[in-house]
A and B are shown apart, each in its own frame.
Chain A
């Protein structure tokens, strides 16, 4: 049995990439990774279980139609029977295309390893995080798109052979005119710790204390929908039904009441801390730890306590 894992270009050290390699290794059998662009650093996937990394160096940028051809060609050349993606924005466009191209059933948004005792089933999130479903795949080739933060990467100390792989994917039909990428921030869906704030913060000038707590923790920052809508914070920070859905280990929410649409984006978090001055805020019902208090008072105190903890450990 062989498993093929797609890795985003130049993402060999990204946690999401190591997660999918670890996941593939746990399926048993040989793990081959496929990517494009530079092969520098590709060998580090070996430590997590890949025995081979195929790199299409002829491509530097690729659209999802080209990536689909690349992965399909790697499936053909390796004879892989399972294909794994990290469920990110690239995979959301590539995995469905590949499903049609290879006539392979797709499990989108898996949160656990598949069960293979009786058929092939896998657990996914449904109803915007309000339920789980067990989905079976009937086709010979199976595709799984794994939600980030579903498995811890495990360094098992192996090594990988890096090979050039030219899939001849043709030209792109999509012309990229411009790209805007904020520098240095952790992509929200991959962050393990997230500090988020809402209208309770009263204005964008007060975000300093949110950022200070996030810095002390090594966390990413997020916000609620109204805050993104009025332009206090950039749209990519908006978590919730219409924004980004995240499932970090720790989600700290200050000044967010916890509307059902907000919960839909964060209810997969392992631990939720809610700070709100209103003891009746619905968010407390979904929280593990609650602090009834003024965010302006509580956030700096929490930052101090975190700093003290970090210094002592």
Chain B
């Protein structure tokens, strides 16, 4: 089974979110980048589990600059076989998906996995866009993934519930919680990652669809109004007259 796992970098979940250059850029000062958790814990680890049980190869791919080598090596240390970096600034989801789809078209993958979304842009777009480029079925927000021959069985979240679906390979899947558990790379993995192949390829020229113009932090929250636990009538009164939510 030949598996492509799309990874993205995202700021550590505890990072302070701030912006610079007239609020047009994310302030990277002091920010620690990690592999986007959905890409790592669910997509990559499930791909490795499949490889361990049925054999195959796991390629990771990212769109980013040379500075992203650290997260690529981390993913290789967890166990991916080889990596591809498309050497470009990932400006929006369409750009990223189109670059990855162009690579995937030239290489026959049975499974293309993404995380359900990145924790910085939360768009949930890249998987669906890759699928449309490749004219493949797409199963989004899958929480289980099993393979028997060329049939993939998945459990996915649907509006108000869950469903189990079957689809033939090749297929694109976005991975959510439940699919696998986090793996910590061991020393052998870290050493091996240093010499695993990392291919850097030039980006395709792609039309600009959208642009992040400016960023804004939410207004500072006013201090919490404390209510006497014995007087819930006053809380109800405030929710009705002040907050106007009931």
Contacts and interface: CB of A to CB of B under 8 A. Distances in A.
Given A97-B128, A306-B236, A108 B123 contact: yes
B129 A100 contact: yes
Interface in A4-56: 8
A193 interface: yes
B209 A138 contact: yes
28 contacts: A65-B131, A65-B137, A89-B140, A94-B128, A99-B129, A106-B123, A130-B17, A131-B216, A132-B217, A135-B212, A138-B208, A174-B137, A176-B165, A177-B164, A177-B166, A178-B163, A182-B161, A193-B245, A235-B178, A260-B14, A285-B224, A286-B221, A289-B227, A291-B228, A291-B235, A309-B233, A309-B236, A309-B240
Interface in B63-100: 93-94, 97-98
A270 interface: yes
A99 B138 contact: no
Interface in A69-116: 88-90, 92-101, 103-109
A61 to B, nearest CB: 10
Interface stretch (B1-9, B105-113, B152-160): B152-160
A212 interface: no
A173 interface: yes
Contacts of A156: none
Given A173-B168, A290-B225, A302 B232 contact: yes
Interface of A: 8, 63-65, 68, 88-90, 92-101, 103-109, 121, 125-128, 130-139, 173-182, 185, 187, 193, 217, 235-236, 241-243, 245, 249-250, 260-261, 264, 267, 270-271, 273-274, 284-294, 297-298, 301-302, 304-306, 308-309
A126 B122 contact: yes
A127 B224 contact: no
B128 A95 contact: yes
Nearest to B126: A96
B120 to A, nearest CB: 6
B209 A139 contact: yes
A94 B139 CA distance: 11
Given A126-B122, A131-B217, A177 B165 contact: yes
A192 B117 CA distance: 24
Contacts of A101: 132
Nearest to A127: B17
Contact of B94 (A106, A134, A173, A298): A106
B10 to A, nearest CB: 9
Interface residues of B, number: 77
Contacts of A63: 137
Interface of B: 11, 13-14, 17, 19, 37, 93-94, 97-98, 119-129, 131-133, 137-141, 143, 153, 157-168, 176-178, 207-218, 221-222, 224-230, 232-233, 235-236, 238-240, 243, 245-246
Contact of A132 (B129, B218, B227): B218
B14 to A, nearest CB: 6
A64 B215 CA distance: 31
A89 B159 contact: yes
Contacts of B162: 179-180, 236
Contacts of A177: 153, 163-166
Contacts of A121: 213
A88 B140 CA distance: 11
A288 B239 CA distance: 10
A243 B159 CA distance: 13
B229 A287 contact: no
B235 A126 contact: no
B144 to A, nearest CB: 12
B162 to A, nearest CB: 5
A137 B210 contact: yes
B129 A105 contact: no
A109 B236 contact: no
A271 B236 CA distance: 13
Contacts of B132: 68, 96-101
B120 A126 contact: yes
A127 B132 CA distance: 26
Contact of A106 (B11, B143, B159, B210): B210
